[in-house]
Chains A and B, each alone.
Chain A
């Protein structure tokens, strides 16, 4: 039973994947060990800290508690998939500019949660931001700069849309 593996088909950062994985592997393990995408971090491994957050079919999930079979056929975006053509996402830009980054270990997960929030709500207020990031623990920063970064990213998205 334990060794039972299966074909997992999914889209990862825009690329179709078809790999053999074990049914009890978590999505985080698949991403980190099989795909070598170590930008997705592991910390608590019990869904409590948000370090492993990725976006699956448009929803942010903690990939440490999602099992491989659950993402069969899914569209997955990780932190590595945010930058396009060498250009970083406005969320990432804002995190740098606002000084929201310290040790950085929580940051990929934090950025993914923020990105997911802004995809769903282009003008979140402070409470909505706090709530959306409520599952992402940062032990270094005091969250204020992260909240500012999300606000500034919302602004950047809007300006980008205007330009287009």
Chain B
């Protein structure tokens, strides 16, 4: 018997993929009927409110909770001392963060006590009656201070799980070729230092989670991107079995990395176990500023070019200022620095990266995972190089971009797309080469990143007796549209209409394992897992047909569009299942797996599944009198292999670009250097882009060569759009008024100052 599974690799065959299928959650979202965790309550639920440290670093001498406990409606008030000893600590990379401060606070805003009360109002009120006596200790909040020989050490205490005698949390080196030799052989050497500030994710949905015990299981409902990581971290911190912890992440009101790794969940889980009641902890938006941020970075970059403008070497030193606890910051540092030479052919490289602890909010993953910081430096360097070498900014990039199939980083997957095509497209769309009006300039930059190497996604797809389908996957829906896209992939593969596919996401007790919803990986990795689960279903159908119809070897069967054609008959899935198992009695369960290539001893643990690349261009007008920028146009061209849902893909690109414009023009967390206190942690003081700040024109375009590893040749998207915005804008500003930006944001004051200094 031979089987034909209709080949859907040509665009014309696709019925659901590549179409503007409406988001499956949109109706609930526009009518306000979608329940986020913050909207939910349970009978007997206790509300937790956190008391946070007033100081960046201090010894806790005494916490007096008597008065607070006496308030009507207060169930309990707990400090680190009241928890099981030693105080449980959690973390995805290092188990270093105590559930509540353990004798010492390490950053301004660190949780030191929690009030549990019958409602939030009472909990908030009681907080005011908790009295804390601190002994202030010296702190550090900048890279310079943290690395001074006599600097206060963030993790110097015995109770710290990860005691260190310096503030260096981790160190990474990547080398190839011979940089020292090339230093003598280069015609042009350019040396610069660039800085990138701390940025807050600012999701509109505040952090909120509910944890409760059911029988011998502990449930945690929370908007978290990586439910399986949460499950592991809680199980480790509370010494439980994985099977006893259930993480449910149904819908997330914006994540951007800030809701990737556990924050308040381990404490809520602990309290639910202790009180045997549902415990809800909700943070205010302002408290979000004390929970997650992007690490700031200082990048020293020295580049050598030969006389024709080819890169000879890159010598790059990176220092990331991370917070008081590791969270995922070491991974951000180690992984992004690996790609510090960006998309260019770099025959010789020396990359040196350090993650430096400080008494500030723990930094974590943030859209782009370190690449916006590094690409800011690299592409600003390329802009300057174009002037020094005497080549147009587009030409110098074209010259140094590799061809498809070339090595990018020795030992990793080769270049997987036509990058020059992307750059040319961006240049064409912005009108590169046309004369600029006075005080107007154009800038172009390339962003790149790799997904999570050696990751795993699994999925279960069930074909029910009536022909409807359920997809279960550990991916979470954070607005990126996974719920819709995963449904589209299954619908396309099985040939059933979208409205017959249900998608269950983010529940560790329902879905099989998935590494993470991050790194723009889900469409590729989970998409592949779903596709393979659908193939599994088709193979089982094949076996069933074989059993039912005893086919001769020469006879053909075709499975396509929800039907099987056999013996000149066209039979629906429902008919096959009914005939085989009886009416409404069964289902076919398909299992699917995607596993990235794991390589022992590889610095990343495995190969990049694809290279996520973006070409960003902008046109900017500078108001010389005030320094104010008017962004006339911003555009992104991304190589995504195949667009599964054009409307959502464009929306992702757009959102990423505007978020990038935020850190380019206005966003920055400000710490007071003396006290290490966060000065602008509120919506009032920390400005993000509004509808009034967007460029006059925005455009996004995709390169679709169907050459990605994902279903239908897809590559990932979602992060790329943010990566190269800052250097593209800075390049345009430099063209317009001849100034050189070394740090962000590009505020009007800074621009005005640089214009006037130049005179």
Q: Is the CB of B30 within 8 A of A96?
A: yes
Q: Is the CB of B30 within 8 A of A111?
A: yes
Chain B residues near A82: list those with CB within 8 A.
31
Tell me the nearest residue of chain A to B652, going by C-beta. A102
Q: Cα distance A48–B205 when bound, in Å?
A: 14
B722 to chain A: closest CB distance in Å?
A: 11
The contact sample of 28 A-B pairs, CB cut-off 8 A, is A38-B32, A41-B32, A41-B204, A43-B285, A46-B682, A49-B204, A79-B32, A80-B31, A99-B648, A102-B481, A104-B29, A105-B253, A107-B29, A130-B691, A130-B694, A131-B692, A138-B204, A139-B254, A140-B254, A141-B651, A142-B655, A142-B657, A142-B694, A143-B658, A143-B689, A143-B691, A144-B694, A145-B650
A43 to chain B: closest CB distance in Å?
A: 5
Q: Is the CB of A96 within 8 A of B22?
A: yes
Q: Is the CB of A44 within 8 A of B285?
A: yes
B176 to chain A: closest CB distance in Å?
A: 38
Q: Is the CB of B658 within 8 A of A105?
A: no
Q: Is the CB of A38 within 8 A of B256?
A: no
Q: Cα distance A142–B655 when bound, in Å?
A: 4
Q: Cα distance A39–B36 when bound, in Å?
A: 10
- Known contacts A99-B647, A140-B204; 7 additional CB pairs below 8 A are A46-B684, A48-B683, A92-B31, A96-B26, A101-B25, A138-B204, A147-B691
1/0 per position for A87-103, CB-CB distance to B under 8 A? 01000100111011111
Q: Cα distance A103–B477 when bound, in Å?
A: 8
Question: Does A137 sit at the interface, judged by CB under 8 A?
Answer: yes
**Option from A46, A97, A136 in Cβ contact (under 8 Å) with B691:** A136
With A101-B30, A102-B479, A103-B253 as contacts: A142 and B23 at CB distance below 8 Å? no
A135 to chain B: closest CB distance in Å?
A: 8
Q: Which of A39, A49, A103, A144 has the most CB of B within 10 A?
A: A103
Question: Does A9 sit at the interface, judged by CB under 8 A?
Answer: no
Chain A residues near B286: list those with CB within 8 A.
44
Q: Is the CB of A99 within 8 A of B650?
A: yes
Q: Which of B660-708 contact A (CB under 8 A)?
A: 682-684, 688-692, 694, 698
Give the A-B pair count, Cβ closer than 8 A.
Answer: 167
Q: Is the CB of A78 within 8 A of B29?
A: no
Q: Cα distance A105–B688 when bound, in Å?
A: 16
Question: Does B522 sit at the interface, judged by CB under 8 A?
Answer: no
Q: Is the CB of A145 within 8 A of B654?
A: yes
A40 to chain B: closest CB distance in Å?
A: 7
Chain B residues near A103: list those with CB within 8 A.
203-205, 251-255, 478-479
1/0 per position for A105-116, CB-CB distance to B under 8 A? 111100100000
Q: Cα distance A76–B364 when bound, in Å?
A: 41
Binding site for A on B (CB under 8 A): 20, 22-23, 25-36, 38-39, 201-206, 251-256, 284-286, 478-481, 647-648, 650-652, 654-655, 657-659, 682-684, 688-692, 694, 698
B727 to chain A: closest CB distance in Å?
A: 19
Chain A residues near B205: list those with CB within 8 A.
41, 43, 103, 105
Question: Does A133 sit at the interface, judged by CB under 8 A?
Answer: yes
Q: Cα distance A96–B22 when bound, in Å?
A: 7
A-B pairs, top 10 by smallest CB distance, nearest first, are: A39-B32, A103-B479, A104-B29, A105-B253, A142-B654, A79-B32, A102-B479, A99-B647, A44-B683, A38-B39
Question: Does A134 sit at the interface, judged by CB under 8 A?
Answer: yes
Chain B residues near A99: list those with CB within 8 A.
20, 23, 647-648, 650-651
**Option from A46, A51, A92 in Cβ contact (under 8 Å) with B30:** A92
Binding site for B on A (CB under 8 A): 32, 37-46, 48-49, 51, 78-80, 82-83, 88, 92, 95-97, 99-108, 111, 129-131, 133-147
Chain A residues near B694: list those with CB within 8 A.
130, 142-144
Q: Cα distance A130–B29 when bound, in Å?
A: 21
Chain A residues near B690: list those with CB within 8 A.
133-137, 143
Chain B residues near A104: list those with CB within 8 A.
25-26, 28-30, 34, 251, 253, 479
Chain A residues near B657: list those with CB within 8 A.
142
Q: Is the CB of A80 within 8 A of B285?
A: no
Chain B residues near A130: list those with CB within 8 A.
691-692, 694
Chain B residues near A49: list those with CB within 8 A.
204, 285, 683
Chain A residues near B659: list those with CB within 8 A.
139
Q: Is the CB of A43 within 8 A of B204?
A: yes
Tell me the nearest residue of chain B to A83, going by C-beta. B31
Tell me the nearest residue of chain B to A40, going by C-beta. B32
Q: Cα distance A49–B253 when bound, in Å?
A: 14
Chain B residues near A78: list those with CB within 8 A.
32
Chain A residues near B481: list those with CB within 8 A.
102
Tell me the nearest residue of chain A to B649, going by C-beta. A99
Q: Cα distance A138–B650 when bound, in Å?
A: 16
Chain A residues near B34: list those with CB within 8 A.
104
Tell me the nearest residue of chain B to A78, going by C-beta. B32
B251 to chain A: closest CB distance in Å?
A: 8
With A96-B26, A105-B205, A105-B253 as contacts: A141 and B31 at CB distance below 8 Å? no
Q: Cα distance A143–B285 when bound, in Å?
A: 21
Q: Cα distance A106–B202 when bound, in Å?
A: 12
Chain B residues near A106: list those with CB within 8 A.
204
A157 to chain B: closest CB distance in Å?
A: 16
Q: Cα distance A141–B647 when bound, in Å?
A: 12
Q: Cα distance A78–B32 when bound, in Å?
A: 9
A146 to chain B: closest CB distance in Å?
A: 7
Q: Is the CB of A45 within 8 A of B691?
A: no
With A140-B254, A142-B694 as contacts: A101 and B204 at CB distance below 8 Å? no
Q: Cα distance A79–B39 when bound, in Å?
A: 15
Q: Is the CB of B654 within 8 A of A137?
A: no
Q: Cα distance A101–B478 when bound, in Å?
A: 11
Q: Is the CB of A145 within 8 A of B651?
A: yes
**Option from B25, B202, B654 in Cβ contact (under 8 Å) with A144:** B654
Q: Cα distance A25–B30 when bound, in Å?
A: 26
Q: Cα distance A103–B29 when bound, in Å?
A: 8
Chain A residues near B36: list those with CB within 8 A.
41, 105
**Option from A79, A96, A140 in Cβ contact (under 8 Å) with B655:** A140
Tell me the nearest residue of chain B to A107, going by C-beta. B29
Q: Cα distance A74–B690 when bound, in Å?
A: 30
A2 to chain B: closest CB distance in Å?
A: 9
Chain B residues near A141: list those with CB within 8 A.
651, 654-655, 658
A114 to chain B: closest CB distance in Å?
A: 11
Q: Cα distance A104–B255 when bound, in Å?
A: 12
Q: Which of B25, B35, B691, B692 has the most CB of A within 10 A?
A: B691
Chain A residues near B480: list those with CB within 8 A.
102
Q: Cα distance A84–B23 when bound, in Å?
A: 22
Q: Is the CB of A95 within 8 A of B206?
A: no
Q: Cα distance A97–B651 when bound, in Å?
A: 12
**Option from A45, A101, A129, A146 in Cβ contact (under 8 Å) with B284:** A45
**Option from B27, B39, B202, B647 in Cβ contact (under 8 Å) with A88:** B27
Chain B residues near A45: list those with CB within 8 A.
284-285
Q: Cα distance A144–B695 when bound, in Å?
A: 10
A89 to chain B: closest CB distance in Å?
A: 9
Chain B residues near A102: list those with CB within 8 A.
254, 479-481, 651-652, 655
Q: Cα distance A13–B23 when bound, in Å?
A: 27
